[in-house]
Amino acid sequence: MRESTGDKITRIGISVLLLLISISCLAPVINILSISFSGKQAVESGKVLLWPIDVTLQSYSALFEGTRVLASLWNGVVMTVGGVIISMVFTICAAYPLSKGYFYGRRTFTLMLLFTMVFTGGLIPTYLVVKSLGLIDSYWSIWMPGAVSTYNMLIMRSYFEGIEPEIEEAARIDGCKEMTLLFRIILPLSMPVIATLVLFYGVGYWNNFMNVLIYINSTEKYTITVLIQQMIASQSLLTESLANDTTALALVPEGIKSAGIIVLILPMVLIYPFLQKYFVKGVMLGSVKG
Amino acid sequence: MVKMTKRNALIAGTSLTLLAVLAACGNNDNTNNSAQSGDSGSGKKPTISATVYDRGLIAASEGTMEKNRWTKWINENGPTNVKFTAVPRTESKQKLNTLFASGSAPDLIFEFDPNIKNPLYDQKQLMPLDDMINQYSTTYKKLLEDNPALKSAATKSDGKMYEFGKLNEAIPQNVIVIRQDWLDKLKLTTPKTTEELYQVAKAFAEQDPDGNGQKDTYGLNIGPGITDIFGGTGMNNSYVDESGKLVRTWDNFEQYIAFAKQLYDEGIIDKDFITDNNGAKARQDFLNGKTGIYFVQANTNMWNRLWITDYATLKANVPRADLEIVPNPKSPLGQYTVWINNPVQLTAVVNRNAKDPKAIMEYVDFLSTPETGRTLTNGIEGEHWQAGATGCPNPIDQEKNKTELGYLGQDYNMIFSVVSGGKCSFIASSFNPDKPDEKLAKDKFKENMEILYNMIDQGAKFPGLTHVEHLPTVPQDLLVDQQNATTEIGNLTTKAIVSGASYTPEKAITEMQGLWKKYNGEKIDAFYQEWYTANKDTVLMPDDIFQIVKDQKTIQEDILK
């Protein structure tokens, strides 16, 4: 089939547009990457754009030797992996029953969950609850209160509801009980939504900043996000504050900050390709044949 | 088979969860125990808790801000065991608020920002200090007796002291530097008035001082201290005392707007200065030799950044570059000094619920001794430093000190006064004259101090009612109004500068006054008036600041000679 001229123009137009958008997203990342590998003077004179100048690993060696970046990177991984496992288990446990029409009290439970999307306890009351549960200064204070994101749970519920009832019937005829049905039929069919939510939760935990700051007291448990945020924010502190806090004021050089940002985003960038295949594979698994 | 694998994976996943659960619990217990046993190791000393800023700059090999060689040193050598709670430097307001709201705030809180501490006083969260100082203190009590300004600054509206503080060097906060090589090339002289400043800046922008045939230079940057030339534009600080009555000044806004507007309209400043909110672009332009007159923050370690690091970068980019200091030019409103560091700075408060005021006071006394101050700044004698030619500590191994002392700053002894430490605590002592770049920094430091002395002698005014840290925080109900007014008037200032001929400075001032009125400005003015009437004799005013500058002159000159 030959493409008409109009189609061709549209296709080229869309490609150019998408290319421009991806360049505008990539350029800042490349710029940061180049800065992290460049010499100090070149960075401070603003000469580094998309290619490193006076290539050096100084920024990285300063970052790894002079800060707790490795320890906090590990903390970030522990918090994220732990958090994703907990969140996924609880989200599935909530979404599956709520997707079933025969589940007693389905509407009430859904409404109760929806309520939390609109109203929250507020920072201090939530803190008091977490404190009285004895969770302060452990990652449970991050994991427990936010274990299930209602929004993500609703996405999963809708996906479960979208699975053809015929598949379920067929499984039941073959003698499947509820648990087997969930683990052997529903979940394998739901890899796209699972992959998506793992990514949502993962990014959420990885970038979690405020909660770590507030609930975690020991700096040895700080995650990399908090560490890097402090490095970056110290600059604005310098210019905004007349508070005279200059003797010890952290003048973190641009290069080290950039190296920190790269270390911060790298794990998420590396994980994405592995999850991506489920998006494609999963979509085909879900189709009903014949 | 495939399904079996998946099931196995699932089981594995579940057990992993359990494992993570167990591991996390185990970890917590371990760290708590070890922290406690570490503290209780050194005998029957009382235990108190204190905050310390965390800046994320401690090396992993050193431990954490709560537990490292210096906390160990404090607990071994001090009169108390101190359990530290780290407060992230950039989010200290959030952190302290949650700690206080949940009743888990430490006994002794170190914080610079009065806008965090004043509300704590208003909420009655703080313990008055008079009794504990009278009963238990020796060193700090003496400091207060010798320096009444410290006592009056710490005294709140109910007549009691609520804050510990320290005396700082009174030195310029900002500096103006000029490209002397450009001045020479264009046969101009250092500007002495704002009119001359404009003329020189215009010549720098238009007469191609870098000789590359392109019109790519800027006269100056809109940077720290530029509004101070016109008397400053802080909304909470723009008052003058007319026989006891505070009068809000608008002329400084008008003069500044007129000045900056002219520069903007004629292309003398970077048109993008508005988006350069942390000064990074201005610094780049300066380092690339594109800026003729550079306004920059230059107190304490910023001084070294300017004269050592940045000067070297500038020279690398433009080998013939030559920098000189410009004294603040005289504006049509008169001669103003540069902004001066807060010489009497309040840095610590005590939690009302603290159990052991005696132990806290003993710890504060311990921090106030010269030996503690020296150790928590320079490290241990023989290990980190040895006495140099001047008798002041000289680092033994820069690299080692960078790791082991780099995170110290003054974060563990924020109440240590420069006067307690003698001349070695002064910045001027930190320059090593054997190194050419540090010698230059020292010479320029001396020059800058002399400029300040001369200005004060000639009766220059301070750019503002007094140092902002000595102003009270307005009551909660007016605070939002004050913040909104400050933001919107700031925006209006920018708008007036960039809006061309149609929007005159006079018009901008009229609109500003309208805004101020709209946001309860009269009530805010009345609040400051009431505070001023009650406290003007005790509060630290510019004359007191100037007096401290003069008092420190002898020791400064002794070091710099």
DSSP B498: H
Would you tell me how many other CB atoms lie within 10 Å of the CB of residue A224?
25
Residues 6+ apart with CB under 8 A from B328: B176, B225, B228, B229, B335, B336, B337, B338, B455, B460
Report the gap between the CA of B355 and the closest CA in chain A (Å): 21
Report the gap between the CA of B348 and the closest CA in chain A (Å): 13
SS (H, E, C) B373-424: HHHHHHCCECCCEEECCCCCEEECCHHHHHHHHCCCCCCCCCCCCCCCCHHH
Test A236 with B278 for CB contact under 8 angstroms. yes
Integer Cα distance of B413 and B108 in angstroms: 12
pLDDT at A45: 81
Judge whether residue B38 has pLDDT over 60: no
Chain B residues within an 8 Å CB radius of A210: 94
Judge whether residue B41 has pLDDT over 60: no
Test A219 with B409 for CB contact under 8 angstroms. no
The H or E element that residue B559 is part of is helix B542-560
pLDDT at B432: 83
Euclidean distance between the first and the last CA atom of chain B, given in angstroms as a whole number = 87
Q: What are phi and psi of B233, to 5 degrees?
A: -130, 40
Test B90 with A66 for CB contact under 8 angstroms. no
pLDDT at B25: 40
Bigger pLDDT: B162 vs A189:
B162
The minimal CB distance from A249 to the residues B91, B301, B345 is found for: B301
pLDDT at B91: 87
Structure tokens belonging to residue A276: 């991506």
pLDDT at B43: 55
**Mean per-residue pLDDT for B20-28?**
41
Share of chain B above pLDDT 90, in %: 61
Residues 6+ apart with CB under 8 A from B294: B176, B177, B178, B220, B221, B223, B282, B286
The minimal CB distance from B317 to the residues A45, A237, A246 is found for: A45
Test A239 with B299 for CB contact under 8 angstroms. no
The minimal CB distance from A67 to the residues B59, B300, B410 is found for: B59
Judge whether residue A241 has pLDDT over 80: no
What are A163-177's pLDDT values in tens digits?
888 888 888 898 888
Is ipTM > 0.90 here?
no
- Range(s) of the domain holding residue A115: 74-216
pLDDT at B561: 81
Q: Nearest to residue B131, comparing CAs of B163, B166, B161, B164?
A: B161
Confidence class of residue A285 from pLDDT cuts 50, 70 and 90? Answer: very low
pLDDT at B314: 94
The identity of residue A98, as a single letter, is L
Judge whether residue A36 has pLDDT over 50: yes
The minimal CB distance from B28 to the residues A138, A183, A251 is found for: A138
pLDDT at B40: 43
Least confident piece of the model among A265-269, B227-231, B261-265: A265-269
What are A95-108's pLDDT values in tens digits?
999 998 888 889 99
Q: Point out which residues pair with B295 in neighbouring strands.
A: B176
CB B298 within 8 A of CB B286: no
Chain B residues within an 8 Å CB radius of A247: 300-301, 409-410
Confidence class of residue A242 from pLDDT cuts 50, 70 and 90? Answer: very low
Least confident piece of the model among B189-193, B398-402, B443-447, B525-529: B398-402
Please compute Rg for chain B using Cα positions. 27
DSSP B537: T
Q: What are phi and psi of B188, to 5 degrees?
A: -115, 170
Tell me whether domains B44-170+342-420 and B174-339+438-560 share a fold.
yes
**Mean per-residue pLDDT for B435-452?**
93
Q: Residue A75: is it exposed, middle or buried by C-beta count within 10 angstroms (0-12/13-18/19+)?
A: buried
Integer Cα distance of B539 and B528 in angstroms: 13
CB B168 within 8 A of CB A244: yes
Estimate the crossing angle of helix B69-77 against helix B370-378, to 10 degrees. 170
Chain B residues within an 8 Å CB radius of A181: none
Test A127 with B98 for CB contact under 8 angstroms. yes
Judge whether residue A289 has pLDDT over 70: no
Report the gap between the CA of B90 and the closest CA in chain A (Å): 6
Residues 6+ apart with CB under 8 A from A117: A150, A151
Test A239 with B95 for CB contact under 8 angstroms. no
What are B157-209's pLDDT values in tens digits?
888 999 999 999 999 999 999 999 999 999 999 999 999 999 999 999 999 99
Report the gap between the CA of A248 and the closest CA in chain B (Å): 4
Chain B residues within an 8 Å CB radius of A46: 281, 284, 287-288
Test A242 with B90 for CB contact under 8 angstroms. no
Integer CA distances (angstroms), B561 to B304, B431, B546, in order: 19, 13, 21
The identity of residue A279, as a single letter, is F
CA closest to B13 among chain A residues = A85
What are A75-86's pLDDT values in tens digits?
999 999 999 999
The minimal CB distance from A239 to the residues B279, B310, B409 is found for: B279
Chain A residues within an 8 Å CB radius of B410: 247-248
Judge whether residue B415 has pLDDT over 70: yes
Does the domain at B44-170+342-420 match CATH 3.40.190.10? Answer given as yes
Whichever domain contains A139, its CATH number is 1.10.3720.10
The identity of residue B140, as a single letter, is Y
Chain A residues within an 8 Å CB radius of B343: none
Test B3 with A184 for CB contact under 8 angstroms. yes
Share of chain A above pLDDT 70, in %: 89
Share of chain B above pLDDT 70, in %: 92
Confidence class of residue B15 from pLDDT cuts 50, 70 and 90? Answer: very low
What are B305-353's pLDDT values in tens digits?
899 889 999 999 999 999 999 999 999 999 999 999 889 999 999 999 9
Integer Cα distance of B284 and B288 in angstroms: 6
The minimal CB distance from A85 to the residues B17, B283, B468 is found for: B17
Write the class of the CATH domain B174-339+438-560: alpha beta
The total of structural domains in chain A comes to 1
Test A246 with B101 for CB contact under 8 angstroms. no
Chain B residues within an 8 Å CB radius of A81: 20
**Mean per-residue pLDDT for A110-131?**
88
Interface A-B, measured as beta-carbon pairs within 8 A, has a size of 178
Test B104 with A237 for CB contact under 8 angstroms. no
What are B369-394's pLDDT values in tens digits?
999 999 998 899 999 998 887 788 88
- Taking all residues of chain B, what is their mean pLDDT, rounded to a whole number? 87
The H or E element that residue B23 is part of is helix B2-39
Q: Hey, where are the domains in chain B? A: 44-170+342-420, 174-339+438-560
Integer Cα distance of B467 and B542 in angstroms: 7
Integer Cα distance of B310 and B307 in angstroms: 6
Q: Point out which residues pair with B83 in neighbouring strands.
A: B49
Test A46 with B16 for CB contact under 8 angstroms. no
